């Protein structure tokens, strides 16, 4: 293919990619090193905006608070959502005709807008006439009836739960595809060799699921760090109640668009860059660790 | 292979139980949208006795969902179309050219799959501001088309690579140029991959809330998710209308799922080989 033809074909995509992805990323990075007065760029101040995030109120308390919630969303998802997804995938494996129907039902919430999901659950969990608390009372679990989203101690756990409800179909489908890719001969050979009870699952299936587990972990990590619509729907842009549902993306939004601070372009850009480096860095390390352990496993 | 035994009972019970957990909230949303707020206050959970469509009328007309809905449709359809078109052209080159520069570009596009690009919204905001594109749906369409490029070129280039090169060579011998070959020979062959890309990009763009929240500031330019946030502030106590609004935002996705669940599931699992 002549270079010119190739260039002509690639040009439209490259143009869009450059203007809306490359240019903003590099510009945001440069924004973070300057002082700002409104939209007027001041002088180069090095890392001062970054230092401000850790030393000046309200950032110095909001940042660790929000970051800790992102980490909680990640670990919560790994423990609850991904093990439930694995359990469902294992239950559905070799189930026959009904598999597709169940997959469709389990994946349905994944399609719905996370904002809609957040609002829907805030209505369902409402202490006023939300059906969840009503059911709990009717089945005699009165002590469980609780303003889950209104109590600062439980609000972030409610977000973990709502997110898991929405996303569980995703690990289920990925694990399901990985299970389907394990040849029958392998598990039959294990049986012939005398694998009993959970041995077959532990020694054969689980190691072969490792690539899927790695992919799920990376995507769960990115999803948890980028959480925005569900926390916004249940707690607004301030992470109500009392910052209990605040996350990094909400803090970025507030800093950039709602703070009214003259230096907000600088501080919000440095916040964005910190989060960017953290997400990208950890994702790269996870991928590297994954490919190494795969190599060790399969030679 | 499949044995039915008492041992299987807990398995089926668990599966149906989770199916209930998965679908009950969405069913409540749909059912309550046909009931009045008073009915919900006296009985939070009940079937609609006398189905009432007035909440839909209220959400659609009074709460401007009509505007939001058509804005969302317009933006989603055009940006999916544009994003797929430019990705198709690029993916063809990535699959068929061995030049170093294109390999490098493909790597650059793919890195977009892992990058949290939404964090770079501020420069886009000021770019839009300078160009008078704030609250302009066309600007939003360009952003979404650009955001589609990493995923779409990834899927399409993989598909192009599986196609035998003989057909193109035969077309070339018959005198067709690269453009002719692309449009009349290749395009019909990659239809399954196009379907996956279109369906799989439709969902996140339809659902996206982040970009329009910051870039669409004028009420007439709101898409459904941004419209929903305003609406939830204003209709706080009008539960019937709230449920109707949530249902309106969800219906197009359910329709899409019914007609294209195959593409959706294959798009989801395509992430595996990434």
pLDDT at residue B223 is higher than 80? yes
- The C-alpha of B141 sits at a distance from chain A's nearest C-alpha, in angstroms, of 11
Rounded to an integer, the average pLDDT of A72-79 is 95
Given a contact cutoff of 8 angstroms between Cβ atoms, the answer to whether A113 and B254 are in contact is: no
- pLDDT given for residue B267 in this prediction: 64
Which of B80, B112, B116, B234 should one mutate to test binding to chain A, selecting the residue with the greatest count of A CBs within 10 A? Answer: B116
pLDDT at residue A139 is higher than 90? no
Given a contact cutoff of 8 angstroms between Cβ atoms, the answer to whether B62 and B272 are in contact is: no
Sign of CA dihedral B84, B88, B89, B91: positive
Q: What does DSSP say about strands A34-37 and A40-44: parallel, antiparallel, or unpaired?
A: antiparallel
| A248-252 own/partner pairs: CB under 8 Å, 24+ apart | A248/A66, A248/A67, A248/A70, A248/A275, A249/A275, A249/B118, A249/B210, A250/A66, A251/A62, A251/A63, A251/A66, A252/B119
- The answer to whether B44 contacts A280, with C-beta atoms less than 8 Å apart, is no
Go through the domains of chain B in sequence order and give each one's CATH number. 70-273 (1.10.3720.10)
- pLDDT given for residue B270 in this prediction: 59
What are the tens digits of pLDDT across the range B155-179?
A: 999 999 988 888 888 888 888 888 8
Which of A11, A16, A128 should one mutate to test binding to chain B, selecting the residue with the greatest count of B CBs within 10 A? Answer: A16
Q: What are phi and psi of A139, to 5 degrees?
A: -90, 15
Given a contact cutoff of 8 angstroms between Cβ atoms, the answer to whether A71 and A227 are in contact is: no
Q: Is A147 left (phi over 0), alpha (psi -120 to 50) or beta?
A: beta
ipTM reported for the complex, 2 dp: 0.89
- pLDDT given for residue B6 in this prediction: 66
Residue in chain A closest to B214 (alpha carbons) equals A257
Nearest by CB to residue A123, choosing from B242, B249, B257, is B242
Rounded to an integer, the average pLDDT of A97-123 is 91
Structure-token pair, residue A143: 């002590």
Given a contact cutoff of 8 angstroms between Cβ atoms, the answer to whether A254 and A231 are in contact is: no
- pLDDT given for residue B141 in this prediction: 97
Structure-token pair, residue A282: 């950890």
What are the tens digits of pLDDT across the range A37-67?
A: 888 888 999 999 999 999 998 899 999 999 9
Rounded to an integer, the average pLDDT of B45-60 is 83
Instruction: Identify the band that residue B112 occupies on the pLDDT scale cut at 50, 70 and 90.
Output: confident
Instruction: Identify the band that residue B273 occupies on the pLDDT scale cut at 50, 70 and 90.
Output: very low
Query: What percentage of chain B has pLDDT greater than the value 70?
Result: 93
Instruction: Identify the band that residue B274 occupies on the pLDDT scale cut at 50, 70 and 90.
Output: very low
pLDDT at residue B4 is higher than 60? no
Query: What percentage of chain A has pLDDT greater than the value 70?
Result: 99
What are the tens digits of pLDDT across the range A214-242?
A: 889 998 999 999 999 999 999 998 988 98
pLDDT at residue B60 is higher than 70? yes
pLDDT at residue B212 is higher than 70? yes
Most confident region among A33-42, A283-292, B221-230, B252-261 by mean pLDDT = B221-230
- The C-alpha of A55 sits at a distance from chain B's nearest C-alpha, in angstroms, of 22
What are the tens digits of pLDDT across the range A192-222?
A: 888 777 787 778 888 888 888 888 999 899 9
- Token match 């249940």: residue? A234
Q: Which residues on adjacent β-strands are paired with residue A34?
A: A44
- The C-alpha of B25 sits at a distance from chain A's nearest C-alpha, in angstroms, of 8
Which of A113, A114, A164, A253 should one mutate to test binding to chain B, selecting the residue with the greatest count of B CBs within 10 A? Answer: A113
SS3 A268: helix
- The C-alpha of B40 sits at a distance from chain A's nearest C-alpha, in angstroms, of 7
Structure-token pair, residue A194: 């005398």
Instruction: Identify the band that residue A171 occupies on the pLDDT scale cut at 50, 70 and 90.
Output: very high
The CATH number, out of the four listed (1.10.3720.10, 2.20.25.90, 3.30.2130.30, 3.40.50.300), of the domain defined by the range A46-298:
1.10.3720.10
The model's pTM is 0.91
The DSSP-derived string for chain B is -----GGGHHHHHHHHHHHHHHHHHHHHHHHHTTS-HHHHHH-SS---SS---HHHHIIIIIT-HHHHHHHHHHHHHHHHHHHHHHHHHHHHHHHH---HHHHHHHHHHHHTTTS-GGGGHHHHHHHHHHHT-TT-HHHHHHHHHHHHHHHHHHHHHHHHHHS-THHHHHHHHTT--HHHIIIIIIHHHTHHHHHHHHHHHHHHHHH--HHHHHH--SGGG--HHHHHHHHHHHSTT-HHHHHHHHHHHHHHHHHHHHHHHHHHHHHHHHGGG-
Rounded to an integer, the average pLDDT of A153-168 is 94
């Amino acid at each position: 293919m002549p270079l010119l033809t190739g260039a002509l074909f690639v040009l439209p995509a490259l143009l869009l990619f450059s203007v809306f992805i490359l240019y903003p990323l590099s510009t945001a990075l440069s924004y973070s090193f300057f002082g700002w007065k409104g939209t007027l760029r001041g002088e180069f101040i090095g890392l001062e905006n970054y230092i401000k995030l850790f030393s000046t109120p309200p950032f110095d308390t909001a940042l660790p608070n929000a970051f800790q919630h992102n980490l909680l969303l990640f670990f919560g998802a790994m423990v609850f959502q991904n093990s439930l997804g694995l359990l469902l995938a294992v239950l559905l494996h070799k189930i026959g005709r009904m598999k597709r129907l169940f997959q469709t039902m389990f994946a349905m919430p994944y399609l719905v807008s996370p904002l809609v999901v957040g609002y829907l659950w805030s209505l369902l969990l409402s202490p006023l006439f939300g059906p969840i608390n009503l059911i709990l009372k009717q089945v005699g679990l009165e002590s469980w009836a609780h303003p889950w989203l209104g109590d600062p101690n439980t609000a972030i756990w409610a977000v973990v739960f709502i997110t898991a409800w929405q996303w569980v179909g995703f690990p289920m489908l990925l694990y399901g595809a990985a299970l389907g890719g394990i040849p029958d001969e392998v598990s039959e050979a294990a049986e012939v060799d005398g694998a009993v009870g959970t041995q077959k699952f532990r020694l054969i299936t689980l190691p072969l699921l490792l690539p899927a587990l790695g992919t799920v972990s990376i995507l769960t990590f990115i999803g948890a760090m980028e959480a925005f619509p569900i926390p916004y729907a249940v707690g607004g842009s301030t992470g109500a109640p009392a910052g209990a549902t605040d996350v990094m993306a909400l803090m970025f939004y507030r800093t950039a668009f709602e703070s009214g601070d003259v230096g907000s372009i600088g501080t919000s850009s440095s916040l964005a860059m910190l989060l960017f480096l953290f997400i990208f860095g950890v994702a790269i390390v996870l991928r590297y660790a994954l490919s190494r352990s795969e190599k060790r496993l399969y030679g | 292979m499949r044995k039915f035994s008492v041992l299987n009972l807990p398995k089926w019970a668990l599966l149906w139980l989770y199916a209930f957990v998965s679908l009950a909230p969405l069913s409540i949303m749909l059912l309550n949208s046909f009931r009045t707020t008073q009915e919900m206050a006296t009985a939070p959970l009940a079937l609609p006795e006398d189905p009432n469509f007035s909440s839909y009328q209220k959400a659609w007309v009074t709460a401007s969902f009509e505007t939001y809905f058509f804005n969302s449709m317009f933006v989603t359809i055009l940006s999916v179309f544009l994003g797929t078109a430019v990705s198709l052209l690029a993916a063809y080159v990535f699959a068929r050219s061995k030049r170093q520069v294109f390999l490098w570009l493909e790597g650059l596009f793919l890195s977009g799959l892992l990058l949290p690009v939404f964090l770079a919204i501020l420069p886009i905001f000021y770019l839009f501001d300078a160009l008078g594109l704030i609250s302009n749906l066309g600007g939003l369409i360009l952003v979404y088309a650009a955001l589609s490029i990493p995923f779409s070129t990834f899927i399409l280039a993989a598909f192009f690579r599986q196609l035998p090169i003989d057909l193109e060579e035969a077309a070339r011998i018959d005198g067709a140029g690269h453009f002719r070959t692309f449009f009349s020979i290749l395009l019909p062959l990659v239809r399954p991959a196009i379907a996956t890309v279109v369906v799989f990009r439709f969902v996140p763009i339809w659902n996206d809330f982040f970009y329009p929240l910051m870039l669409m500031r004028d009420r007439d330019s709101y898409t459904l998710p941004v419209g929903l946030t305003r609406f939830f502030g204003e209709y706080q106590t009008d539960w019937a209308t709230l449920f109707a609004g949530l249902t309106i935002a969800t219906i197009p996705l359910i329709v899409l799922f019914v007609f294209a669940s195959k593409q959706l599931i294959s798009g989801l699992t395509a992430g595996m080989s990434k």
